[in-house]
Amino acid sequence: MSKYYNPIRKSVYAPGSLFPYRLSRSRIDVFMNCPRCFYLDRKLGVDRPPGYPFALNSAVDKLLKKEFDIHRADKTAHPLMKTYGVDAVPYADRRMDAWRDALRGGITYLHKETNFFITGGVDDVWVNPEGELIIVDYKATSKEQEVTLDAEWQIGYKRQMEIYQWLFRKNNFKVSPVGYFVYANGSTDRAAFDGKLEFDVKLIPYKGDDSWIEKTIYKIYECLNNKKIPSPGSDCDYCKYQKALKEVGA
């Protein structure tokens, strides 16, 4: 994978440009974690080294989408919804594939005050009898403990959900404040592998609060229109590594 990594890219933010600047959900999260890394990437064109792809997670994501799409076509509730008492069905809309395409589409909104074109690729959308859209995100892991949203690092999951909820509201949809994480946990307590990995799937509700998003967009705008590189985030491993290199004279 490293042979394809080019840290320098030409597509950067240009202050005063008349063309809207595309700002993805994931890049907003980078800003929240480390304004310095965000600035180096979006303004100066020097991106972080990429992480390795999680192929098993992607496979679970793809299969879950296929599974829920069967019920979307049939306008029926998935058994998981019935198990957890969620009165909803997968939302049937011709734009579903586009909303899921984070790279080329997504759910989008032009924030006119900053000229940012905010985007995000959602995993799924359900709808309840009141006509409220329920934002759904798929997650996969494998651990012995019960899956929860209690870990400090999972704040990124929560922000992800809130940005999706905000984007749909900005597109004039009625959105439920409660979204759901379909969390698949790979079991390791089976007697043998036998060529298959089994998952316990849990539905975790989360009540989002998107009140932070608008002010964050303005902070990002101020950041990108500033000529000074901002300070690192308090817990950014990339910036810690760069600092350590400088300290040893590398």
Domain contains 8: no
Q: What total of structural domains would you count in the chain?
A: 1
What pLDDT score was predicted for residue 3?
A: 57
Q: Quick one: which of 223, 44, 68 has its CA closest to 136?
A: 68
pLDDT surpassing 50 at residue 1: no
Which stretch, 145-149, 188-192, 207-211, 235-239, has highest mean pLDDT? Answer: 207-211
Domain holding 194, by residue range, is 13-239
* pLDDT, tens digit (0-9, with 9 covering 90-100), for 101-122: 998 899 999 999 999 999 999 9
Domain-embedded: residue 56 = yes
pLDDT in tens, 50-78: 877 777 888 999 999 999 999 999 999 99
Nearest to 107 by CA among 173, 23, 98, 136: 98
Task: Please check whether residue 99 is in contact with residue 122, taking contact to mean a CB–CB distance below 8 angstroms.
Answer: yes
The answer to whether residue 246 sits within a structural domain is no
The pLDDT score that the predictor gives to residue 51 is: 75
Burial of 42 (0-12, 13-18, 19+ CB in 10 A): buried
Any domain includes 108: yes
Rounded to whole angstroms, the Cα distance separating 206 from 203 reads 10
| Residue 171, in any domain of the structure | yes
pLDDT of 32 > 60? The answer is yes
Residue 245 within a domain = no
In a domain, 111, yes or no: yes
Q: Determine, yes or no, domain membership for 3.
A: no
CATH number of the domain that 109 lies in? 3.90.320
